[in-house]
Amino acid sequence: MAELNSGSLFLVTFNLILLLLLTFIPFSISQTTTAAAPPPPPPPANETCNGIYLSYAYTDGERIPPNLKNDRSRQPYRFESTLTVLNNGLEELKSWKVFVGFQHDEYLVSASNAVLADGNSIPGGVGNGTVFAGFPMTDLKTAIETAGDETQMSVQVKLVGTQFGVASPSVPLPTNISLVNDGFVCPKPTMQGKNEMQVCCTVDKDFKSNVTVDDEFLPRQNGDLTIMYDVIRTYDSNYWAQVTMENHNPLGRLDNWKLSWDWMKDEFIYTMKGAYPTVLDSSDCVFGVQGQHYKDLDFSTVFNCERRPTIIDLPLTKYNDSILGFKPYCCRNGTILPPQMDASKSISSFQLQVFKMPPDVNRSELSPPQNWRINGTLNPDYKCGPPARVSASQFPDPSGLPTNTTAVASWQVVCNITVPKDSSPRCCVSFSAYYNESVIPCNTCACGCSRTTDRTCSTSAQAMLLPPEVLLVPFENRTAKAIAWAQLKHLPNPNPMPCSDNCGVSINWHLATDYNKGWSARITLFNWDETTFPDWFAAVQMKKAVPGYQKMYSFNGTTLELNGVNNTLFMQGNEGLNYLVAETDALNPERDPRIPGKQQSVISFTKKLTPGIKVAAGEGFPTKVFFNGEECSLPKVFPTSDQRRNSVTISSVLMLVLVLILI
């Protein structure tokens, strides 16, 4: 009985355990399976961005020759990357521009679907970062207006180039990527793995535009110089375009302008009116794809087939030429003046006939050239942006009727004055005063020195103080007088001697008088170059003196308000005296030095409107000087009264010297 009870108890216990296992094990398995399931992946970053999504992905790279074992930082590597721009916003993104902060001295060899926004051509260096602009797809539509068609919403820019010093497994990524278009804010990019950075740029709610944007085109922008590319007639295989350059900067100017651009689709210039290419050459067409397509075209009359032509203005004598000239605002020897000098001469224009290539041989396929650049002689440097499509320009009807004709299509290029890194001025200034016998000359190497110059002179020695009459002598003839003056006045006499300023134009500012109720200065312009400057102008900026300006006695002078500040004196030659002639030989060239072209005027000021002005302490000297728009190099110090002499005698001597040379 006891054994039966024990067996029954064992059987009952076993059945209970089995029942429990069958009951709970499936639940436990189900619970374990559910808990172990991975969370769903986050949506791609471009799907969560409700603005402009940017990404930069490094895709491939390898070391390329030469093999620099001893200088790994200069070892070149090929890189391939992809820049993606996607419009996930509510409004079309017009003329997109993206900054990529390259940091490894990159040299860009090719870029698809984009050009450099600063007007430089590819290939070229972009090691300090660059801005890409869309081409040929400049605008990115929204998902709403395209039903989510990413071919119209986005663009991918395939980049190939060379970078230095970053070997695998390191990745040569830029420091930053951001949208340059106005009205957007971009946070710091985030990394997606090791090879990609991305950012979502959103609309800046605090941004207020002072222009009204129409539905189709961007508004016209302001700049120091604007260029319009207007298609005025179009046919299946070619079109006529008018190029108009207009100066808006009161201190900007161009002399002998040269305009260049890149054709992106094998176009070529068949003929022109109002301007001319620097090279008349059709050989690139004859031996290229243009000659294969236009088999019956007489290429002997084609003006230019270069991918990057350079255009120059025609001389005045060609204005009435019925073949080459006879166009408004043409034929001025390449001179574009500030608008306040002569508004009619602040514009230059010409026309050209452009032949296109397949697949663009129909009248509606129109695209402007890219990578615009313009420069002149002794003028500011300009940096031009990419062409932006704007509303069609209107022109007075050539029939004389009170109506306007409208261009077929118009693009605007905006150029602004820039100061290139490590660039040298092209003019310089010397200071002198009635209370000091010595002139503070232009700085040593003010306009640059060649690398070999330091073998014969010092590029770092301070320029030697000079007697006033030496200002009239070319630098190469000054040595003996400079040494004698230093010995007479117990001044430093460096060995080797300081190098020349190497400037084509120099300007002397002389503080002539300073009395109780007013003061005066004298400005003298010297042209040491072989180029004559017609319609020249100069401008000086001063901290406090300009409100007290009274009169210029030999120049046409006026005050000029810049950026809301009345601190600039603008001057130009009077009628008949507006030529600053070139340097010429003396009457006896074998004995006497060459003579610079020169212009001079006395300027008077009152102290009534500038009480407390300290003229002799520095406030009677300019802080900036411009000649034909180019900012000149200034001395680092002002004249002092340490060597003070009889001010009347010194002032009279200096006045006599400068007056005698003008007789």
Q: Are residues 186 and 304 in the same domain?
A: no
Residues 6+ apart with CB under 8 A from 23: none
Same domain as 300, residue 229: yes
Instruction: Give 642 or 572, the one with higher predicted confidence.
Output: 572
* Distance of alpha carbon 478 from alpha carbon 474, whole angstroms: 7
Q: Are 319 and 367 members of one domain?
A: yes
- Summarised one tens digit per residue, pLDDT across range 152-191 is 999 999 999 999 999 989 999 999 999 999 889 999 999 9
Query: Both 184 and 313 in a single domain?
Result: no
What mean pLDDT comes out for the span 408-434? Answer: 90
Q: Are residues 391 and 432 in the same domain?
A: no
Residue 562's identity, in one-letter code, is L
Amino acid at 117: A
Q: What was the pLDDT predicted at 493?
A: 85
pLDDT at 41 over 80: no
Position 658 confidence tier, pLDDT thresholds 50, 70, 90: very low
Query: What pLDDT does 8 receive?
Result: 58
Burial state string for 178-208 with b = 16 or more CB within 10 A and e = fewer than 16: bbbeeebebeebeeeeeebbbbbbbeeeeee
Q: Give the burial class of 271: count Cβ atoms within 10 A of its Cβ; 0-12 exposed, 13-18 middle, 19 or more buried.
A: middle
What stretch of H or E contains 168?
A: none
Domain presence at residue 643:
no
Q: Is the dihedral of CA 69, 74, 77, 81 positive or negative?
A: positive
Instruction: Check residue 498 and report its DSSP letter.
Output: B
**Cα 484 from Cα 479, distance rounded (Å):** 9
Residue 25, pLDDT > 60, answer no
Which H/E stretch holds residue 84? Answer: strand 76-87
Can you give the pLDDT at residue 210? 52
Contact between 56 and 179 under an 8 Å Cβ cutoff? The reply is no
Claim to verify: residue 557 and residue 477 sit in the same structural domain: yes
Instruction: Using pLDDT thresholds of 50, 70 and 90, give the confidence band for residue 207.
Output: confident
The arithmetic mean of pLDDT across residues 70-88, rounded, is 94
Domain membership of residue 534 (yes or no) is yes
For residue 156, give its domain range: 45-203
For residues 529 and 589, membership in a common domain is answered with yes
Q: What is the rounded CA–CA span in Å between residue 484 and residue 354? A: 64
Question: Is 230 domain-assigned?
Answer: yes
What proportion of the chain, given as a percentage, has pLDDT over 90? 64
pLDDT of residue 489: 85
Q: Any long-range contacts for 646-655 (C-beta under 8 Å, 24+ apart)? A: 647/434, 647/435, 650/434, 650/435, 650/436, 650/437, 651/434, 651/512, 651/513, 653/468, 654/432, 654/434, 654/468, 654/510, 655/512, 655/522
- Evaluate if residue 589 carries a pLDDT over 90: no
The type of residue at 86 is: L
Q: Are 128 and 160 in contact (CB under 8 A)?
A: no
Query: Residue 620 belongs to a domain with what CATH number?
Result: 2.60.40.290
Checking if the pLDDT of 654 tops 80, the result is: no
What pLDDT is recorded for position 197? 95
192/330 same-domain check: no
Tens digit of pLDDT for each residue in 312-364?
999 999 999 889 988 899 999 999 999 989 999 999 999 999 999 999 999 99
Give the CA radius of gyration of the chain: 35
Residue 379's pLDDT band (cuts 50, 70, 90): confident
Structure tokens at 252: 């900007």
**The pLDDT value given to residue 608:** 93
Question: What predicted TM-score, i.e. pTM, was given to this entire model?
Answer: 0.81
Residue 566 CA: distances (Å) to CA of 57, 544, 547: 50, 9, 7
- At 2 the pLDDT is 45
CA 298, distance to chain mean position in Å, is: 39
> Confidence band (pLDDT; 50, 70, 90) for 248?
very high
Please report, for residues 21, 262, 287, 530, the alpha-carbon distance to residue 283 in angstroms, rounded to integers and kept in the order given.
93, 17, 6, 35
* Residue 660's pLDDT band (cuts 50, 70, 90): very low
- Rounded to the nearest integer, the mean pLDDT of the chain is 87
Q: Before 593, cis peptide (omega within 30)?
A: no
Position 96 confidence tier, pLDDT thresholds 50, 70, 90: very high
CB 67 within 8 A of CB 92: no
329 lies in the same domain as 441: no
Q: Quick one: three-class SS letters along 20-60?
A: HHHHHHHHHHHHHHHHHCCCCCCCCHHHHCCCEEEEEEEEE
Q: Which amino acid is at 84?
A: T
Residue of 643 and 151 predicted with greater confidence: 151
Is the residue at 146 inside a domain? yes
| Lookup: tokens for 16 | 């209970």
**Is 470 domain-assigned?**
yes
- The verdict on residue 374 lying in a domain is yes
**Is residue 233 domain-resident?**
yes
Higher pLDDT, 604 or 579: 604
Average pLDDT over residues 521-544: 93
Residue with tokens 């559910």: 34
**Residues of 463-487 as b/e, b for ≥16 C-beta within 10 angstroms?**
bbbbbbbbbbbebeebeeebeebbe
Closest CA to 379 of 583, 118, 631, 634: 631
Same domain for 367 and 431, yes or no, is no
Looking at the fold, whether 409 and 482 belong to one and the same domain comes out as no
Six token digits for residue 39:
């969370």
HEC string for 134-159: ECCCCCECCHHHHCCCHHHHEEEEEE
Name which of 254-258, 377-381, 503-507 the model is least confident about. Answer: 377-381
CA distance 439 to 450: 26
CA distance 78 to 181: 30
- The secondary structure of residue 535, as a DSSP letter, is T
384 vs 588, more confident: 384
Domain-located, residue 648: no
What is the number of domains present in the chain?
Answer: 3
Instruction: Say how many CA atoms lie within 13 Å of 175 toward its Cβ.
Output: 10
Give residue 422's pLDDT band: very low, low, confident or very high (50, 70, 90).
Answer: confident
Q: Are residues 238 and 198 in the same domain?
A: no
pLDDT of 538: 95
Which position has the higher pLDDT, 15 or 125?
125
